[in-house]
Structure 1
């Protein structure tokens, strides 16, 4: 399993935003410059992360972007799901999906839900605060 570049970059963007959590706001362009992520990608991620309630955006004089809640209350699972949608290693566990040739005869399918919950649980235990404290956020970029 590998995170998409977009999910990886979202974690980097959130780490950079967390470094500004002392009340100061930063722009998407500022986050892009700080992280080395292209501006259009940073803007797209800021939009997705704001829509998911992880970032808050304020327009006008003194506006910008900041974390919508404390970094200790934001998990890697929250960030990944904001970009990728629900964490699922296979499509067959998603409701309404019926595109597998083995559907109906697969002996593994009933177990994917538990696997998905374990992966989500592991990602849910890692907070943005703990990641930033260990200095690993910017090192995750490819």
Structure 2
């Protein structure tokens, strides 16, 4: 599975917004400058993330954007779903989708829900607070391989 560019950019944008926590408001233009993303892309993402309840837009003097919830209460799964929709590895898995020629005879289809739950659970286990941190040390198993 690979995230779309927009989902990736949404994570980058939300991470930047999280670094402005504590009630500090930031503009979409500031997020674009900070992240290096094109301003129209950030503007589109801000609309999606606001509609999904992850960002809050305050108008007027002193307005701007801020996280709609504490960064610890926003997960990677929330951000990906705001841009991509429900997390599903196959097109047959989401409810109501019936575009697979094998749907009627597929013995694997009933099991995709378990896989999708595991994938969503893994993404839901990564809070925005962790994504907003600076460089993260390599996992221990990677360090062990480098030393071998």
- TM over 0.5, shorter chain: yes
Partner of 1:66: 66
Q: 1:57 is paired with a residue of what secondary structure? A: strand
Partner of 2:44: 44
Length-normalised TM-score, structure 2: 0.89
Give 1:108 deviation, angstroms: 1.0
Counterpart Cα distance in 2 of 1:7 and 1:135: 20
1:11-63 CA distance string (max 9 Å, x none): 00000000110221111111001101101100000000001110000001000
**Which stretches of structure 1, 4 residues or more, deviate above 2 A after TM superposition?**
133-136
Length-normalised TM-score, structure 1: 0.92
Counterpart Cα distance in 2 of 1:38 and 1:134: 22
Gaps of 5+ in 1: 137-142
Matched, 1:108 2:108: yes
Gaps of 5+ in 2: 137-148
Partner of 1:19: 19
Counterpart Cα distance in 2 of 1:18 and 1:128: 7
Counterpart Cα distance in 2 of 1:132 and 1:17: 8
Counterpart Cα distance in 2 of 1:49 and 1:121: 20
Partner of 2:142: none
Counterpart Cα distance in 1 of 2:131 and 2:94: 30
Q: How many residues align?
A: 136
Higher relative contact order (CA 8 A, sep 6+): 1
Between structure 1 and structure 2, the one with the greater Rg is 2
Give 1:134 deviation, angstroms: 4.8
Partner of 1:140: none
